[in-house]
Amino acid sequence: MKTAERTLSQIEAEIAQVQNELSDVHGTQTEVYARIVGYYRAVRNWNKGKADEFKHRKMFTLEDSNRFDGAQPEKLVAKAKEPVKAETTVASNEIASYDIFVRKTCPNCPPVKAYMANVKLEGNMIDVDTPEGLSEAALKGVFAAPTVIVYNADHKEVARGHNVEELTAIFEPAVALA
């Protein structure tokens, strides 16, 4: 099947016609709702600080991570297992290292960073504002910052905490048993 050949002037005329039609398109303002301090509210009604915070948010999605190939999502979902509860008592000989997931704009990250600085373990700080950090967070099922994942000598997850209270529940019993 052969297509009809068009001249350059015909193509330019069609483009001009489409551009003219597009200039007359009028829509309505879209109302965006998001969760703020425990409830959903229209973003346009937020105060300046919360609206600015909303602009800095990043979505943690498995599909957008560079480790997602799309072929076997069930394997990746299996890796994003349920977090170990912070109330879990971990013996000091079970704790070998940790990963801490943080953001630059996170208000809860500084106390957790300070607590982990006093823990005498090998650890990695992972910035989820970077593409690599976001990918690592998606791979390990981290959906919030700060998150600390504690590993044993075989690099298997033994505990997970999100604040100083949860980390104290993980590390203080281990110190007392040592």
**E strand residue ranges, 8-163:** 33-36, 39-42, 97-102, 122-127, 147-151, 157-161
Give yes or no: residues 29 and 113 share one domain. Answer: no
Give yes or no: residues 47 and 110 share one domain. Answer: no
β-pairing, 97-102 vs 157-161, is unpaired
User: What residue numbers bound the domain in which 49 lies?
Assistant: 25-57
Give yes or no: residues 78 and 29 share one domain. Answer: no
CATH at residue 157: 3.40.30.10
Domains: count for the chain: 2
Give yes or no: residues 91 and 166 share one domain. Answer: yes
Give yes or no: residues 53 and 83 share one domain. Answer: no
Per-residue tens of pLDDT for the chain, all 178 residues? 566 788 999 999 999 999 998 888 887 878 888 887 777 888 888 888 888 888 887 766 655 555 555 544 444 444 444 444 444 455 556 788 999 999 988 888 999 999 999 888 899 999 999 999 999 999 999 999 999 999 998 989 999 999 999 998 888 764 444 4
Give yes or no: residues 95 and 44 share one domain. Answer: no
Give yes or no: residues 40 and 108 share one domain. Answer: no
36 located within any domain? yes
